[in-house]
Homo-oligomer: A and B are copies of this chain.
Amino acid sequence: MPVEIGAEPEAEVEDDSALQLHIKFDPRRQVSAQVYEALKKAIVSLQLPPGSSISENRICRHIGVSRTPVREAIIRLVEDELIEVFPQKGSFVAPIKLSAVRENHFSRKALELAVLRRAAASWSALHSSRARYIVDRQAAALGAEDFDDFHALDETFHRSFCVAAELEGVWSTIQTMKARVDRVHRLSAVQGRLPKVIAEHGAILDALDASDCEGALARLEYHLEQAPTMLETLIGKHEKYFVD
């Protein structure tokens, strides 16, 4: 049963404060889509930690819309395995399931490696310069301590391999699995690993530019393997967030 995992049992106060879903509504777009994006962003960024109550009523009152678009956003987030709904009891941000993290990491690695193998076959100077530009901007974001931008550029970098392989649709699949493990990455972001990320990205591009396909694959695999290595320490520090 989803007993509240609230780190603060004494926090009787409406945790509406945690609901800083700063939505600036664009009336031309669907409300449900905008709610979905705002909630997903808040969950993945751990602004809404695992176990948080996602009451349809609270949210729709908070942002000033009816329950229907909120419900539709929640349905999509359940599909993403980021929210769990218990009928007649409540909806909650899903805990980080270790088996799911393991399996999604496995899938993501398999897909990205397969994509990279194909991208390497048609790698060009244009692809290289575009990717290096992304890495440069990522370094700038790190210097400016703009971590949201850093993560956004990280996605752009990995996506660029899908573009080079002319398999851009595969990226959406990777992204779905990435979203299911990204909360772990956010937890590990404080460990000072970010400079290494930039170096590893550059190393992959070096191998691609040298037409060293196998080397690029090895370096990407190494890069992707870094996150799980520190999983145990993370579990210890944030035990409340995990299950299994």
A interface residues, Cβ below 8 angstroms from B = 30, 71-72, 75-76, 79, 87, 99-100, 103-104, 106-107, 109-111, 113-114, 167-170, 173, 177
CA distance A79 to B77 in the complex (A): 11
A170 near B107 (CB under 8 angstroms)?
A: yes
Between-chain CB contacts (< 8 Å), 14 pairs: A71-B72, A75-B75, A75-B76, A100-B169, A103-B167, A103-B169, A106-B167, A106-B170, A107-B170, A107-B173, A109-B114, A110-B113, A173-B173, A173-B177
Q: Which residue of B lies closest to A79 (CB)?
A: B79
Residues of the B chain whose Cβ atoms lie less than 8 Å from the Cβ of A173: 104, 107, 173, 177
CB-based nearest B residue for A85: B30
Is A110's CB under 8 angstroms from B99's CB?
no
A113 CA / B103 CA spacing, docked (Å) = 14
- The distance from the CB of A181 to the nearest CB of chain B, in whole angstroms, is 12
When the two chains form their complex, are residues B72 and A170 in contact, meaning their CB atoms are under 8 A apart? no
